[in-house]
Amino acid sequence: MELQWPLILFTVLVAWSAGLFGAQSLAALRGDGGRAQMASLVASVVLLAAGGIAVFFHLQHWERIFNGFGHLTSGITQELIAIVVVVALMVVYFVFLRKGSGVPKWLAALSLAMSVVLVAVMAHSYTMAARPAWDSVLWILAVLGEACVLGPVSFLVILAAVRPGDRPAMRAADVAAPAGPPALAGALVNAVTAAAFAAFLQLSAGSFATVGYYFDPTHPTKAMADAAATVAGQAPLLWAGAVAVGALVP
């Protein structure tokens, strides 16, 4: 099974964008990170736009994507609705930041909630009975965990990079200190969810059913699909990349 890198990039970038938007919304709820809010919002928008561009490289005929938007049960339609709502919230968020009046608590809470919804809806669109290894709530939790680490850590970096302004004597570490606990909590959540889903994937080879023989007519002695071999072949990438680097390093 080939790795669909455009789709992988779309998933990572959208989760990253939603995680960052959610992290800054959480900071706004707590009354922290005021000077990093605009920079974080811009970064979140850029990540979301980059994810949208990446997904088009996955489609052979990108114009046909619009055929699925007429069905509310379609995962693509649900993703689009969630993205449109989040973008609308980003616009309202931007207006309040430009006014300098601060982000209202109701807007911060709604933005945080919709960030979670966006990631969950996006991950849910991959779950299907035809793909037993994907058809698990652990996958949705794994993507949420990814957003939980990428967003807060990115917000922490942005907060540390922004100059204190009216408090020049404060060190960057002191300014960024309030964002530390959410980043640490996000890293722990990501580690648990990534390891759980990795274990589920590793055990998923036995969930595939073999029905008769399925061979490529041009290669009659070679099976079209070997679930066990696919799982085993991608195990190093899964455990070294997703778990060791993606979960334990943060």
Most confident of 146-150, 185-189, 239-243: 146-150
Q: Which of 9-13, 40-44, 82-86, 218-222 has the lowest mean pLDDT?
A: 218-222
SS3 153: helix
- Whether pLDDT at 236 is above 50: yes
- Output the domain CATH number for residue 211: 1.20.1630
Contacts of 234 (CB under 8 A, 6+ apart): none
Rounded to an integer, the average pLDDT of 31-58 is 88
Exposure b/e, 184-209, CB count within 10 A at least 16 = b: eebbebbbebbbbbbebbeebbeebe
Round to whole Å and give the CA distance between 246 and 187. Answer: 9
Q: Which of 80-84, 122-126, 233-237 has the lowest mean pLDDT?
A: 233-237
Q: How many domains does the chain have?
A: 1
pLDDT computed for residue 60 by the predictor: 67
Q: What is the pTM of this model?
A: 0.80
pLDDT computed for residue 250 by the predictor: 61
What element of type H or E holds 187?
helix 180-202
Rounded to an integer, the average pLDDT of 77-91 is 93
Most confident of 69-73, 140-144, 226-230: 140-144
pLDDT computed for residue 38 by the predictor: 93
- Per-residue pLDDT tens over the stretch 161-177: 875 554 544 554 545 55
Q: What are phi and psi of 224, to 5 degrees?
A: -70, -35
How many Å from the N-terminal Cα to the C-terminal Cα in the chain? 29
- Per-residue pLDDT tens over the stretch 102-147: 899 999 999 999 999 999 999 998 887 767 777 788 889 989 998 9
Contacts of 207 (CB under 8 A, 6+ apart): 132, 133
Place of tokens 């994810």: 51
Q: Which residue has the higher pLDDT, 174 or 183?
A: 183
pLDDT computed for residue 169 by the predictor: 46
Provide the domain limits for residue 73.
Answer: 5-247
To the nearest whole number, what is the mean pLDDT of the chain? 79
pLDDT computed for residue 219 by the predictor: 65
